[in-house]
């Protein structure tokens, strides 16, 4: 007759894989990815955006129709495109303007910012850039390098 003494042999390599360093790293990376996904802005249906926020947006931007809403912390962000330029507006829950952001060409970043990137990220280039204006009119610049957003003040000083 058939003896089944080796019937568990195929399972042993799987157990070995689960205990391996590679598997532990994979599980850790998946956990980190899940955490990052949870902490990023959450895409929202417009019905879940407070009326005060949508009313403030529609009052200021009445001609904009195709808007993607997301929630970032306690704030709401409306992303849209106008004249083929990506733009966004952020409001608090009461509809008060927090900031506006406009994509700009990387070549439109001020020269000192490009010099900073050249000196500190020698082999890398700016992939995306934007100009951010807060509710008080204070301008900052954002330059994405290696997947990291570098923020500069209006005098081109590195902030974070």
User: Low-confidence residues of the chain, pLDDT below 50?
Assistant: 1-8, 12, 14, 26, 28, 31, 33-40
pLDDT of residue 38: 44
- In angstroms, what CA-CA distances link 140 with 30, 46, 66, 109? 34, 28, 26, 11
Domain ranges of the chain: 9-40, 41-87, 105-160
pLDDT of residue 45: 80
DSSP letter assigned to residue 158 = B
pLDDT of residue 22: 61
Class of domain 105-160: alpha beta
């Amino acid at each position: 007759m058939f003896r089944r003494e080796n019937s568990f042999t195929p399972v042993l390599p799987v157990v070995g894989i689960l205990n391996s360093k590679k598997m532990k790293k994979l599980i850790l990376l998946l956990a980190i990815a899940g955490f990052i996904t949870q902490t990023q802005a959450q895409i929202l249906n417009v019905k879940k955006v407070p009326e005060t926020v949508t009313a403030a947006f529609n009052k200021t931007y009445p001609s904009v129709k195709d808007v993607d809403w997301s929630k970032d912390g306690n704030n709401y962000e409306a992303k849209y495109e106008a004249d083929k330029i990506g733009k966004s507006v952020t409001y608090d829950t009461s509809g008060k303007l927090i900031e506006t952001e406009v994509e700009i060409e990387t070549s439109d970043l001020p020269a000192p910012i490009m010099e900073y990137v050249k000196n500190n990220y020698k082999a890398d280039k700016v992939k995306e850039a934007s100009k951010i204006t807060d509710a008080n009119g204070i301008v900052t610049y954002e330059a994405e390098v290696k997947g990291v957003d570098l923020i500069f003040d209006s005098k081109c000083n590195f902030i974070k």
